[in-house]
Structure 1
Amino acid sequence: MNARIYHIVLISFISAQWACAQTDTLLIGKDFKGISANSYFNYFNTDAEITADSAWKVFTQKTNSLKRINKINFGPINGYYWLALTVKNTSNKRQELYLEIRQPHLYRIVFNRVFRDSVVTQFETGIHFNFFKRPLPNRFFDFPVTCEPGESFTMLVQVHHINSLSLPLYIVTNEALQQNNYRENLVWGFWLGFLSFCTMSSFIAFLFFRKSVFLWYFFYILTAALYGFTEQGFSFQYLFPRLADFEAPAIIHLGVYGFVFLIKFSQGLLETRKHFLLVHKILNWVFYFTLVFIVAGYLMPGFMFRFSTIVLPTLNIDVLVGLGLLSYCGIKSLWTNKVIAIFYLVAYGTLIAASVFSISNYGFGAFQYFGPNPVLISYFLEAILLSVALIILFRQIQKERSALIATVATQQKEMYKNFIGGIEKERNRIAGELHDDIGSRLSFLQRLLSTHSEESKKTSDQLEQIIKDVRQLSHDLAPPLAHVSGLIPLLEKLISDIRQSTGLNIKFQEYDFKRELSTEQIQQVYRIVQEALNNIAKHAGASKIDVQVFGHKNEVDIIIEDNGKGFDISQPTGLGINQMKIRTDSIGGRLEINSHPGKGTTILLQVPFDSTKK
């Protein structure tokens, strides 16, 4: 009897001790899908690593070191955290559950399951190990547990981290886990796709416009996309699954790269060289100073780590100076380019606000937040706002380019006009000299030789021919009397003269030419047709030439065709054709020459009617 009572008391004592060893129990019913489990976990932390059995004893003894997890962000740590939670399946079906830690950058995690007589380690993973050490191929840490109907079990988790610790803990079913992963991957896929689109668009814009601001924007958004891809754990999962301890330094480097590219992009967008030269030079020094840190980190990692107490504060000061100068440039740009400055300041403000808000992840501030990284959200908003700013800049560049082209065209037209005017004046002067001086003197000489001797008669005939040639040359050089005759009579007279002097078969036709060109246009068209016909007579060897004039509502088209030997238009042209082009440009026309060796030549001259002449 006494022995039986003894056994009953002993069993009751052991059961009481086991009950005391239990943490608060999470009940899993038949409709359970998932829950945020932070408030159900108890934890304690140590500076040195202890065994799982020793940690479990702390929970069973319920010492004062045990705490309830009432937060997500623990702030900067460098130690070991032990967490424990008991789960009981109150349903009548088997439950496939997962402990999910939605923090992809934990250094080391050991998942243990407690049985009545021992603590069994089931998984050991973290960014200190390659990706394939994870229980599930997911960017988060998911630990599967099976719970039979009515069964209860305790999970004991060790977390070792060397930075700011965030622990968002969830207990979810397999179905809920898959749905969450699908939904989140869809959102981040859209995020990455949009930034990739902005990246490619900016690179294409750089290739097209050759403006460095588009290239720096390409690098900045590319860095932002890689930063987000890595910060969310996708780089470790998809790009470098075998590189342990990869993510933390990658995130730091990408952040510094982003700062460097932001400086150069901002300089281009805000035109700091043009408006704030001194600040522009200081920003260049900040840029090069940061590059020195980046290169030193690769070449002398041991030195940089040994003097990290000096290096990191110096780098922080460098970044703060750069950000302050960028803020100054953005505000001052409100007086130089208000629209772009507004978009830039709003985009820049979202990044600064997100950076300030994200200090909750470091355990500072009264609020507790764990969700999408605010910096990543700000990158998305930045990409939208800065893309709009670049579109505005693109339109401004196009407007300035169009205005410059118009100015150059106007100046070029004026230059052509003055050049042609000078040519006409000189031709007129030479024609006058030939007619009034040399022609008169030759006529006087002819009269002196007008004797009846045979030699005198021959000399007189030669002089008469020279006089005719001089008069013809004078006539050709003198400007046409456009205000007296009009274009059609002048062309008819020109063609008639060339027929007589060369014997060429030239056919002239005019169709529906009812409006008249301006005096200057008529003079230039006359010279162009004159030069074209002279070139045909001298070089083409043509037997037939067609000249056609077509009048249209807003322009006149003149077509000159010959059946001569033609020429290769890809070869350098002579002075005559260049003069024709210059004259055409001076009156706002268009000259097109089509020719092939052995197939003749076609010349199309299009001249718009003067809008002031009806």
Structure 2
Amino acid sequence: MYKFNWLLNIYKRLLYLILCLLLCCVATAQIQFFHNESKASIKSSLILAYADSSVKMDIERYAQIKTNMQPLNSGKFNLSYKNEMLWLYVPVTAVEGYSSFTNIMLRNPHLNNLHVWMFENDSLVKTFAPTGDHLPFATRTLRYADFVFPIPEQNKNKLAFLILLDKRNEQLNVPVHFVTEDGFSSYNRRKNLLAGLMSGLGLFLSLFTFFLFYAMREKLYVYYSLYVLMVFFYIFSDYGYSFMYLFPNHPLPADFTRPLSISLASPLYMLFAITLLNIKKHLPTHYKWVAGFVIFYLSCLVISVFVIPNTGKVRIVLVWLMQIFQNTGAIIILITAIAALRKKIPYAAYIICTSIVLLFAFFVFMQYVSGFITDTFLTRNMMNIGFATEVSILAFVLTLRFKKYKEQSEQLLRTTNLQQEQIFQNISNYQEKEMQRYSSLLHDSVGARLSAIRLNLESLNRKLPEAQLAKSIGDIGDLANDVRQFSHSLSPVLLQKKGLIGAIKEITDTVNDSKELYIQFESIGSLQKVSFRYELMLYNILQELIQNILKHAQATEVIIQLILEKELIYLFVEDNGKGFNHLSIKEGLGFSQIQQLVTFVKGSLTIDAKEGHGCKVTLEFPVLPDETNHPTTYR
């Protein structure tokens, strides 16, 4: 209950923080003037402005509202998120140092509609083609992402520009630059350099994530790669390059991709964060909050997709809601990461860092847009720099995670190799004991019988009856069969030559030919062979079980089933003999050696036996990882 109250209090503070962010981000129409990239000294009383709710965008409309235009310094023109456009009348002489610039640039590639006229002594001398991102890119006067208009050198002190800016129902921010040729070149170099660095970083991180996904096959890397794609597509679109290079003849998708990509980035970041921290397992309550918010967010986004291309109040509400949701999502992840840090969940500190970077970048950028802080190269690119910093930190986290995974894999491989060496050593010890047992059998059985036959053959000199001769010949035949069975049991050459399944069939055929016992053998599974170590162990275990049945079970039928799969080996042996009490297994039956071998390969051995009801032996164990990848190792 205490933890739930703590979580509830955190989310209450979250709402207060969102309100504070909104209060700090009051947006107005920002019309600022620059000489190259430095703030220009202007005579604002000479610059006239008028907010117009009309839909007419021609010079005749200017004639109608000309007398209503007011000096720009008479007050701020708050046009952001309003259904109005702005007329600006800018004499060249209003800008100090006007004689040195050659172009006028409007540094906002996302103006919906832009009309520019040039006057000389109040006489219209040039009408530039209507342009804007609601018109094909070819309408730009010069082929740049920003809007650039050349200024003639002659009679410059008599020139004035009439500019009509239309960005209805959206944030209006228009820095007007009077640039020289060198200043314009310098600005474009810096912008293209930053865009190139961002694009290169996005390409590198995409390839890097693809490599990690190929190595680990986790959906975490899918979330990250999609997030990187959305972030850098937003940056690419924010600089105006998506319209310039991807959709030059299709203004609607060019206008739509920027808000859509940034809207999709937020839930992808949240999914990445909760997957990285494994919140579902460690913080199930937080997981429910985050998952519920993501579902709600995506639902609102789907609805917005069908409405946001239109203009009007609905668009304004949706734009504001998506901005609130995006920042709410970052704060929710920040709170969740703090809770994860308290539980010492790995990488929580990095998620806290990236969330703070996002919120700080958004706050500074909105302060810049609202005019509360100076327009500089850093502040105007703060959101893009914040995104690039964040995805770089997350890439570093993935690198650490992958490094840790490799170290754990190498440690597991070392442990596995050690286990295999132990298994091989125990199999060798087991084989040595078997050799001793067979040596004893050869000495006690074969040796004794050979001695008896020798005596019988020596007695032939005394011309003993023919029945005794026939008996000696029969004993020699039986002894030959025993020796052949012993040789098959002792030699791994048979196993190497015919494989596990072939060697088992050799044993069962030999037993079936003796007519003492009938063995039904069945082999199934996706594999025909496994590592020789496993084959040798299975072969020895099966030999031991068959010997036990022949010696002790008094059975007439046996069923053997072997299953070889990529990750599992299964052996089942059942006989119809007299059975025994499995609670008092005798050492002589060999089950202790079998149990020891099975233990070393982390398998399981089950013995189901009752007196008078036969015996069932089930053995299964996993195939070790490197054995799966290298089935012929040590062969």
The TM-score with structure 2 as length reference comes to 0.63
**Pairing partner for 1:184 from 191, 194, 199:** 191
**Pairing partner for 1:66 from 71, 74, 81:** 71
Aligned to 1:402: 410
Query: AA paired with 2:92?
Result: V
SS of 1:214's equivalent? Answer: helix
Aligned to 2:141: 135
Aligned to 1:113: 118
Correspondence 1:236 to 2:239 = no
Quote the offset at 1:264 in angstroms.
1.9
Correspondence 1:123 to 2:129 = yes
Correspondence 1:97 to 2:109 = no
Query: AA paired with 1:460?
Result: S
1:387 and 1:216 map into 2 onto residues whose CA distance is: 12
> Where do residues 9-408 of structure 1 align in structure 2 (5 Å cutoff)?
36-37=39-40, 39-41=42-44, 42-49=47-54, 52=59, 55=62, 65-68=70-73, 75-87=80-92, 97-116=102-121, 118-119=123-124, 121-148=127-154, 151-162=157-168, 163-298=170-305, 318-319=325-326, 321-335=328-342, 340-363=347-370, 366-369=372-375, 371=377, 372-408=380-416
Aligned residues: 479
CA contact (8 A) 1:432 1:474 kept: no
Query: AA paired with 1:379?
Result: F
| C-alpha RMSD of the superposition | 4.8
1:90 and 1:319 map into 2 onto residues whose CA distance is: 40
2:38 and 2:172 map into 1 onto residues whose CA distance is: 21
Aligned to 1:599: none
Quote the offset at 1:331 in angstroms.
1.8
Change (3 A) 1:532 1:254: closer
2:364 and 2:94 map into 1 onto residues whose CA distance is: 39
Quote the offset at 1:224 in angstroms.
0.8
Change (3 A) 1:263 1:142: same
Query: AA paired with 1:355?
Result: F
CA contact (8 A) 1:103 1:167 kept: yes
Quote the offset at 1:54 in angstroms.
6.6
1:233 and 1:312 map into 2 onto residues whose CA distance is: 20
Quote the offset at 1:44 in angstroms.
2.2
1:261 and 1:195 map into 2 onto residues whose CA distance is: 16
Aligned to 1:501: none
Query: AA paired with 1:39?
Result: I
2:238 and 2:77 map into 1 onto residues whose CA distance is: 18
1:101 and 1:292 map into 2 onto residues whose CA distance is: 36
Moved more, 209-218 or 229-238: 209-218
CA contact (8 A) 1:89 1:148 kept: no
CA contact (8 A) 1:36 1:169 kept: no
1:467 and 1:76 map into 2 onto residues whose CA distance is: 105
Aligned to 1:511: none
CA contact (8 A) 2:92 2:156 kept: no
Change (3 A) 1:244 1:582: same
CA contact (8 A) 2:202 2:228 kept: yes
The TM-score with structure 1 as length reference comes to 0.65
Aligned to 1:597: none
Query: AA paired with 1:383?
Result: V
1:189-247 C-alpha deviation (Å, 9 max, x unpaired):
12211122111211222122212222211111111110000011111111111122444
CA contact (8 A) 1:347 1:385 kept: yes
Query: AA paired with 2:235?
Result: G
> Where do residues 426-441 of structure 1 align in structure 2 (5 Å cutoff)?
428-429=436-437, 432=440, 435-436=443-444
Change (3 A) 1:318 1:420: farther
Quote the offset at 1:188 in angstroms.
1.4
Gaps of 5+ in 2: 1-32, 504-526, 540-596, 602-625
Quote the offset at 1:185 in angstroms.
0.9
1:1-30 C-alpha deviation (Å, 9 max, x unpaired):
xxxxxxxxxxxxxxxxxxxxxxxxx9xxxx
1:422 and 1:405 map into 2 onto residues whose CA distance is: 25
2:533 and 2:51 map into 1 onto residues whose CA distance is: 92
SS of 1:266's equivalent? Answer: helix
Quote the offset at 1:417 in angstroms.
5.1
Change (3 A) 1:171 1:580: same
**Pairing partner for 1:463 from 447, 453, 475:** 475
CA contact (8 A) 1:37 1:169 kept: no
* Structure ID, larger Rg: 1
**Between the two proteins, what is the percent identity of the paired residues?**
20
Change (3 A) 1:81 1:133: same
CA contact (8 A) 2:42 2:94 kept: no
Moved more, 36-45 or 228-237: 36-45
Aligned to 1:5: none
Change (3 A) 1:406 1:231: same
Quote the offset at 1:531 in angstroms.
6.6
Aligned to 1:496: none
Gaps of 5+ in 1: 1-25, 27-31, 479-526, 540-570, 592-602, 607-614
2:309 and 2:104 map into 1 onto residues whose CA distance is: 38
